[in-house]
Amino acid sequence: MVAISSEQLADPVELTRALVDIESVSGDEGDIADAVERALRPIPHLLTERSGNVVFARTDLGREHRVVLAGHLDTVPLHDNFPSRQEGDLMYGCGTSDMKSGTAVALHLAATVAEPVHDVSYIFYDCEEIESERNGLGIVARSHPEWFEADLAFLLEPTHGEVEAGCQGTMRAQIKATGVRAHSARSWLGDNAIHHAGAILERLRDYRAREVVIDGCTYREGLNAVGVTGGVAGNVIPDECMVTVNFRFAPDRTTQQAADHVRALFDDFEVTVTDMAAAAPPGLSAPVVREFLGRVGRPAVAKLGWTDVSRFAEMGVPALNFGPGDPNLAHTKNEHVSCALINSCADTMREYLTGKSV
Query: Sheet of 240-249: strands edge to edge?
Result: 222-230, 240-249, 169-178, 270-277
Separation between Cα atoms, residue 122 and residue 136, nearest integer Å: 14
What's the distance, Cα to Cα, between the start and end of the chain in Å? Answer: 35
Separation between Cα atoms, residue 37 and residue 26, nearest integer Å: 18
Separation between Cα atoms, residue 208 and residue 229, nearest integer Å: 25
Alpha helices, DSSP H, located in the chain: 6-9, 12-20, 30-40, 101-112, 136-143, 193-206, 255-265, 287-296, 309-314, 339-354
The SS3 of residue 191 is: strand
List strand residue ranges (DSSP E) for the chain, in order: 47-51, 54-58, 66-72, 85-87, 90-92, 119-125, 152-155, 164-165, 169-178, 182-183, 211-214, 217-220, 222-230, 236-237, 240-249, 270-277, 301-302, 319-321, 336-338
Q: In whole angstroms, how far apart are CA 217 and each of 19, 69, 301?
A: 33, 22, 5
Smallest Cα–Cα separation from 108: which of 15, 5, 29, 3? 15
Question: Quick check: 227 and 244 in contact, CB under 8 A?
Answer: yes
Q: Which residues are catalytic?
A: 74, 128
